[in-house]
């Protein structure tokens, strides 16, 4: 079980998940809008800058949290180069805020959001509070 952050043949950031549960999803970078699958059920989406080692390391915290929920929550992991990319799929994103960006979605509605590095226990409390 692992993840790898890299770039595709066009230099676009990407994340590859190997051996992770089906409720952990690698989302594309640089999208023009939110994916339809994010419109149903409960999702925790973490968007992170690929050039920040601490933010890339936070991917593991997100995966660990999703595993504690055992499939009751889908996890979406979205790499990015430029924070302005966030506004294409999350118009309320503040590109000047520190990464990573965290969104809790329920049936497509943003229920909670926050930015910055947080501990796994903080995330757990945050998700349980909703």
The number of folded domains in the chain is: 1
With 0-12 / 13-18 / 19 or more C-beta atoms within 10 angstroms meaning exposed / middle / buried, residue 92 is: exposed
Q: Give the tokens for residue 34.
A: 């939110």
Contact 43, 76 (CB under 8 A): yes
Rounded to whole angstroms, the Cα distance separating 130 from 118 reads: 17
Task: Report the CATH number at residue 86.
Answer: 3.40.30.10
In the chain, count of helices (H) and strands (E)? 2, 7
Residue 99 lies in a domain: yes
- The rounded percent of the chain whose pLDDT value lies above 90 is 71
Residue 1 lies in a domain: no
pTM of the model: 0.93
Mean pLDDT within 91-96: 90
In a 13 Å sphere around the CA of 6, the CA atoms on its Cβ side amount to 7
| Enclosing domain of residue 33 | 23-128
Model pLDDT, residue 130: 67
Residue 5 lies in a domain: no
What's the pLDDT tens digit per position in 18-68? 999 999 999 999 999 999 999 999 999 999 999 999 999 999 989 998 998
Residue 29 lies in a domain: yes
């Amino acid at each position: 079980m692992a993840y790898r952050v890299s770039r595709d043949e066009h230099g676009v950031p990407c994340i590859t998940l190997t051996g992770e549960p089906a409720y952990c999803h690698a989302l594309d970078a640089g999208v023009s809008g939110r994916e339809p699958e994010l419109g149903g059920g409960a999702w925790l989406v973490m968007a992170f800058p690929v050039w920040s080692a601490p933010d890339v390391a936070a991917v593991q915290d997100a995966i660990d949290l999703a595993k504690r929920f055992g499939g009751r929550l889908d996890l979406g992991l979205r790499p990015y180069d430029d924070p302005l990319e966030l506004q294409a799929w999350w118009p309320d994103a503040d590109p000047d805020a520190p990464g990573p960006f965290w969104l809790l979605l329920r049936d497509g509605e943003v229920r909670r959001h926050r930015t910055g590095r947080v501990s796994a226990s903080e995330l757990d409390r945050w998700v349980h509070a909703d």
